Structure 1
Amino acid sequence: MTARQLSDALDAVLREHHDRLAVGSLTHQMTYRELDDASAATAREIAARGWRRVALKAGSSPRYVVSLLAVLRAGAVPFLVDPALSSDESGRLAESCGIDAAITDGDNAEADLTIQPITRSEPAPDLLPDTEVCRFSSGSTRTPGCIEFSGSAVRNAAAAWTEVSGLHADDVILCFAGLYNGLAFNTSLIPGLLAGASLWLPRGLPSASHVQRYVATVQPSILVGFPALYDGLARRAGGRPPMTGIRIALSSAAQLSEDTARTVAEHDGVRIADYYGIAETGPLTFDPHPRPGGGQGALLPGVEVRVVSPDGPGAEHGELEVRSRSMGSRYLNYPGEMERRITADGFYRTGDEGSMTDGRLRLTGRSGKHLNIGGRKVSAEEIMDVIRTHPAVRDCVVFGATNQSDTAVIAAAVVADGALTVEEVRRFCLSRMAAFKVPERIAFTDRIPRSGAGKPLAVALSALLTETRPAGGDR
């Protein structure tokens, strides 16, 4: 491993901002000096064990930041894994990516993280020489794709974000997104550290009361979270005091409700920027002066977006293709898969649909088979493959729906032999995949409604969820 652009830049920041608060939770805070010392000690342990690829599978905490810096400073590559993945899923990723060890946590968010070696049966695939960080995406595959990022790509993403957001050392960032996720990684973790800002990392669900408690204590200038966080604040707007002092509120991954944006703006005077970014390319847009329903904003420096439509060049709406200076290099565990999604002139086919008007992007949906649930892009095909392995299931289709709270959820229509129940399907799924992939709404039917071309009919599938089915029904 010869590339150390990101590690060297972070080392310089640790020395420059020694006495400033770096990261914290309500019970544990660390200055940049303490972050420097703690990560250096862990780096020595990692280097002594000869580990070159280390997975971080833990919730957000100051100790997570220590571990990330330690892996980088040991000259190893961190693999940022969603902690919600099951042990089977994590094992498959470790085997396919050649991971040597894993840093994990338990229920105690403030306890030291545990480093454990991993035994593999297959040789590790080669990393590219300039890879410094690996992150994961569902991508176009049925299990997470491991995206290799060069240090320069990660720094380019941080630099572009810092430029448009005006991020500086006096900012206080309150981030409710997991640090493995692009929303946190590209807007809070790396840019915040490189700017010498203070990063606060709550644990637990972002309920309105939890968010309000942190806001009152930390007094952030930047608030980062998924749409569900802002939906909760909007629902409680009449029963809580207004938030003050927030100059930027960020939302991403799933589209933000216009009603939520309007309610928060009216109650708190906070306008939420619904920015656009994807795992493979980094952050792409930002609106410094957002308005409810105003779209995803203008392109970041170094970002190009074009609209591809069957109507030909000049179409206002179609699939989005993007090119940026922060793009990942490839999928380590799916050779050639990412390359097939990149055009001859270097544009990545996103699978997202939208339009560009006067330099501003407005998303309208997905053209592929991936669902956006709570900020996570989930492969419908992966879930269908699991359900279809149940011996009583003859057919199924997985699709997006909403629950009684009008929140996006995963739904499944299932054709089964015998008296299969909803609970049995869920237990079967939970034993084979992460909990967030298990369908919340399940309906049984005699046949999957399909078009003459064999494609599932969306309207008919939604109707199934409102009907009472004899074999367990929808819950």
Structure 2
Amino acid sequence: MDRAERPWLSSYEPEVPPTLDYPPETVDSLLKSAAARFGNRTAISFFGRRTNYRELLRRSLQFAHNIRKLGLRKGDRVALMLPNMPAYVVAYYGTFLAGGVVAQTNPLYTERELETQLADCGARWIVCLDLLYARVCSVKPRTPLQAVIVTGIADDLPAVKRWLYPWMQKRKKAPIAKIPPNEPAIRLYPWLDTAEAPDDPVHNAPDDLAVLQYTGGTTGRPKGAMLTHANLTANVRQCRAWLHRAREGEEVALGAVPFFHVYGMTVAMNFAVSIGATMTLIPKFEPDLLLGAIRGTRPTMFPGAPTMYLSVLKHPKHRPGDLASIRVCVSGSAPLPLDVQQEFELKSGGKLVEGYGLSEASPVTHANPIWGENRTGTIGLPWPDTDCRIVDTDTGEPLGPGQIGELQIRGPQVMRGYWNRPEETAAAFDDGWLRTGDLASMDEQGYFRIVERLKDMINCGGFKVYPREVEEVLFEHPAVREAAVVGVPDGYRGETVKAFVVRQSGVTEDELNRFCRERLAAYKVPRQYEFVDALPKSAVGKVLRRLLKERTESGSDGEGKS
């Protein structure tokens, strides 16, 4: 593509170059560089406990040393099933320093989902939260897992808070993990302390596989997007170019987006490390925790999702000046409402812009200019070295400005393919272009707008839900004859899951709800059910989800609606 085919370049801020240099670097080199340049600077702030970059690198090297003693060899996978906490960062970079591959694992997964992923990625080690230990152990015999490394929130707290933690949990009626002494679990920090002189045992190459990021992709069936070190570091460099006013060694980044989510991993962690920022980690998205962290650490950067920004603005204890430290926010995972953007910018004095990405692209491909022209309702402009085109969904022919078709992407951040799935990898690409599965359009100035999802993925507050996966669980219930799942508007989450069910025999909403909660992560469980006599279908028997969504929006009731 020549410059005439890239109209977005003319809309770039003057400080943003159209193309970048990509030196041969790896993800672990980001931490090594930060420790060399900003060794005494706080890398992680976690409920009052501070870890500097030198200590973070030391702990990560200890992890690398010890997990290689357990048998890890270059290219082996290590599953991480942790929320945002210092232990996650240590295990993440430690895995790379050992030559391993991180298999991102959602802590909300049920046993069924966890078993499927662990069997697919072949991980022999998992680092998990102590509260999840029983769940991991229940699937361990049916997976390649050999060892389970556990840690808890209390392990990462300052001494006084660690001592008070059990009492605080009881007071909140929150669960407390109790692992019997005879269990074969490896406790993370005592295990790290056994490391001999930490070293740097393995050197990775940019084209080595770094992360398996599980996604439904274009079919709804979870599979691991293979992201190389070059993919991830390229996206970090693109991020640094776009946020060109970021000050090295001075920023404070709010780590509220889960690191197991590809957006959080790249923008809230890898990018933050690359500029020597302090990461304020929040293990669970709760409005009280979020507001407390903002007040306590005064972040300057807040990558997040619309739900997070809205929760702070509407918090009953929100005060003028709470957001004054925030200079820049890039919103991802869901469309950003105009009223949320305007109110947040008014109260913070900073910039909040919408971006776009997908797991298969490490993930960011587009964003509105931070300090340039922001076009509300668009995902902005393609990032440097990111080529985009809109193609006709029937013919595959490129379309011009204003025309609607499938958005396709190519660039240095685009994945190698799907783990052990050559056929699905081939289907995901069109002559070297990554097929996003999203319908979009581009205007004359190169701003892109997502018009509609080509597939039926549901976006619940940033979490992706694939109707087919939920439907398959519903089909397992003996009282369900047919089921179809759609996303319906939700004022807080953006979308929520609704199930239309044709009953084989009597079953209630409560029964289906309990059945689904045993088999699906909480965010995938339908929040609404409607019992109907039949599902609308095409002439070939395909369920017409579009008509079900229209039925919901029109407010028409079905027989036996719950």
Please, what TM-score do these two structures have when normalized by structure 2?
0.76
Indicate whether 1:143 and 2:221 are aligned.
Answer: yes
Q: What is the match of residue 442 of structure 2?
A: 356
What is the deviation of 1:406?
A: 7.3
Q: 1:380 to 1:116 in 2, by over 3 A?
A: farther
Check whether the contact 1:401–1:462 (CA below 8 A) recurs between aligned residues. no
Aligned twin of 2:467: 380
- The aligned counterpart of 1:111 is 155
Query: Partner letter of residue 551 of structure 2?
Result: A
Match of 1:121 in 2: none
Q: Is the 8 A contact 1:272 1:291 kept in 2?
A: no
Q: Map Cα deviations across residues 295-349 of structure 1 (whole Å, 9 max, x no partner).
A: 22221111011011259532522210011111111111433312211111x1111
Task: Indicate whether 1:254 and 2:334 are aligned.
Answer: yes
Match of 2:534 in 1: 447
CA deviation after TM superposition for structure 1 residue 202, in Å: 1.0
- How far apart are the structure 1 equivalents of 2:211 and 2:492? 38
Task: Measure how far apart 1:104 and its partner are.
Answer: 0.3
Distance in structure 2 (CA, Å) of the matches to 1:40 and 1:139? 34
Return the offset for 1:7: 2.5
Does the CA contact (< 8 Å) of 1:323 and 1:348 recur in 2? yes
Counterpart code for 2:384: P
What is residue 293 of structure 2 aligned with on the other side? 214
What SS does the aligned partner of 2:296 have? helix
Once the two structures are superposed, what CA deviation does each residue of 1:69-124 show, in whole Å capped at 9, x if it has no partner? 1111112111111111112211111111111110001354242697599xxxxxxx
- Call closer, same or farther: CA 1:93–1:406 in 2, change over 3 Å: closer
Counterpart position of 1:326: 413
Matching of residue 266 in structure 1 with residue 346 in structure 2: yes
Are 2:326 and 2:348, in contact at CA under 8 Å, matched by a contact in 1?
no
1:414 matched to 2:494: no
Alignment-derived partner of residue 284 in structure 1 = 365
SS at 1:103 equivalent: strand
Structure 2: which amino acid aligns with 1:175?
Answer: G
Q: Say if 1:80 and 1:136, in contact at 8 Å, map to a contact too.
A: yes
Does the aligned pair in 2 maintain the 1:101–1:115 contact within 8 Å?
no
AA aligned to 1:355 is S
Change over 3 Å in CA distance of 1:252–1:132 after alignment to 2: same
Question: Which amino acid counterpart does residue 396 of structure 1 have in structure 2?
Answer: A
Amino acid at match of 2:385: G
Q: Letter of the aligned partner of 1:288 in structure 2?
A: I
Residue number in structure 2 paired with 1:223: 302
Q: Structure 1's 239 and 16: CA in aligned 2 closer, same or farther, altered over 3 A? A: closer
1:78 counterpart residue number:
102
1:265 deviation in Å? Answer: 2.4
Contact 1:414 1:444 in 2 (8 A): yes
Q: SS at the partner of 1:184?
A: helix
Q: CA separation of 1:12/1:374 partners in 2, compared to 1, >3 Å: closer, same or farther?
A: same
Query: Looking at CA atoms only, which structure, 1 or 2, has the larger radius of gyration?
Result: 2
Query: Using the alignment, how far apart are the partners of 2:28 and 2:483 within structure 1?
Result: 47
Q: How do 1:174-193 residues align onto structure 2 when only pairs under 5 Å count? A: 174-193=254-273
Letter in 1 for 2:416: S
CA deviation profile, 1:423-456 (whole Å, cap 9, x unmatched): 1112212222222111111111111133556442
Within 2, Cα distance between the matches of 1:247 and 1:129? 34
Aligned residue for 1:95, secondary structure, equals: helix
8 Å CA contact 2:336, 2:377 repeated in 1: no
Q: Is the contact between residue 380 and residue 399 of structure 1 (CA under 8 Å) also seen in structure 2?
A: yes
CA–CA separation in structure 2 for the residues paired with 1:459 and 1:72:
48
Q: What displacement does 1:178 show?
A: 0.4
Q: Which residue of 1 aligns with 2:384?
A: 301
How far apart are residue 464 of structure 1 and its match?
A: 5.4
Cα pair distance change 1:215/1:405, threshold 3 Å:
closer
C-alpha distance in 2 between matches for 1:18 and 1:404? 44
Higher relative contact order (CA 8 A, sep 6+): 2
Kindly provide the CA deviation profile for residues 140-181 of structure 1, in whole angstroms up to 9, marking residues without a partner as x. Answer: 244321111111111101111011112332111002110011
Residues 484, 545 of structure 2: 8 Å contact kept = no
2:479 to 379, 386, 392: 392
Name the aligned partner's letter for residue 283 of structure 1: V
Moved more, 51-60 or 291-300: 291-300
Measured in 2, the distance between the counterparts of 1:193 and 1:84 equals 26
Aligned mate of 1:423, from 493, 510, 516: 510
For 2:81 and 2:412, the matched residues in 1 are separated by 27
Residues 1:240 and 2:240 aligned together: no
| Aligned: 1:95 with 2:124 | no
Structure-2 separation of matches of 1:439 and 1:49: 41
Contact 1:274 1:296 in 2 (8 A): yes
Query: 2:171 maps to which residue?
Result: none
Structure 2 gap segments, 5+ residues each = 1-23, 132-151, 157-176, 178-184, 189-205
- How far did 1:458 drift? 3.0
Q: Deviations over 1:381-422 (max 9, x none)?
A: 111111112111111111001346574101110001222111
> Identity across aligned pairs (percent)?
24
**How many aligned residue pairs are there?**
459
Q: How far off is 1:460 after superposition? A: 4.3
Aligned partners of 1:467, 1:219: CA distance in 2, in Å?
48
- The answer to whether the 8 A contact 2:253-2:301 is kept is yes
Are the counterparts in 1 of residues 439 and 450 from structure 2 also a CA contact under 8 Å? yes
8 Å Cα contact 2:484-2:500 kept in structure 1: yes
Question: 2:546 pairs with 430, 434, 458, which one?
Answer: 458
Change in 2 beyond 3 A, CA 1:404/1:72: closer
Deviates more, 1:403-412 or 1:461-470: 461-470
* Equivalent residue for 1:156, pick from 198, 221, 234: 234
Q: 1:250 to 1:8 in 2, by over 3 A?
A: closer
Aligned counterparts of 1:280 and 1:235: Cα–Cα separation in 2: 34
Deviates more, 1:262-271 or 1:357-366: 262-271
Q: Distance in 2 between matches of 1:4 and 1:132?
A: 12
Cα separation, 2, equivalents of 1:110 and 1:61: 10
- The residue aligned with 1:125 is none
Question: Which amino acid is 2:304 matched to?
Answer: G
Cα 1:215–1:457 change in 2 (3 A) is closer
CA distance 1:446–1:116, change in 2 (3 Å): farther
1:354–1:135: structure 2 CA closer, same or farther, 3 Å change rule? same
1:211 Cα deviation from its structure 2 partner:
2.5
